[in-house]
């Protein structure tokens, strides 16, 4: 499943998304780092699923985010990871002992 609309409307994704939102208390985890309680609407793939399909369903690779924080993870014109998204990827890689891909070092 590489088509975004097919992936994000699948029953499997909707279930996984709900599991992650519940795990994170329906709160934006990046806002929470700064002591703010902001509701989360999105679940973000820290290692982009198009580049790292092997991590698509891994809970450690998913994080609940509010709309603003999720938009900050991507460059609007290209959809690629922004500097903030790359920083999150690096921190997550170190935390879970995953190699940091060369293009993100």
What pLDDT, in 10s, does the model give residues 33-78? 999 999 999 999 999 999 999 999 999 999 999 999 999 999 999 9
The Cα 92–Cα 44 span in angstroms is 13
Whole-angstrom CA distances from 8 to 56, 57, 95 are 12, 12, 27
Say what the pTM is.
Answer: 0.92
Per the prediction, the chain carries an average pLDDT of: 95
Q: Distance between the two ends of the chain, CA-based, in angstroms?
A: 28
pLDDT for res 5: 80
Q: Is pLDDT at 81 greater than 70 in this prediction? A: yes
Choose among 27, 33, 28, 63: nearest CA to 45.
63
pLDDT for res 1: 41
Find residue 43's DSSP bridge partners: 64
């Amino acid at each position: 499943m590489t088509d975004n609309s097919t992936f994000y409307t699948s029953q499997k994704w909707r279930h996984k998304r709900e599991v992650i939102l519940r795990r994170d208390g329906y709160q934006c985890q990046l806002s929470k780092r700064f002591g703010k309680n902001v509701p989360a609407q999105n679940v973000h793939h820290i290692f982009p699923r198009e580049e790292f399909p092997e991590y698509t369903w891994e809970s450690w690779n998913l994080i609940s985010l509010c709309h603003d924080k999720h938009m900050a993870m991507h460059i609007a014109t290209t959809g690629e990871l922004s500097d903030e998204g790359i920083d999150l990827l690096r921190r997550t890689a170190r935390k879970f002992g995953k190699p940091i891909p060369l293009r993100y070092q």
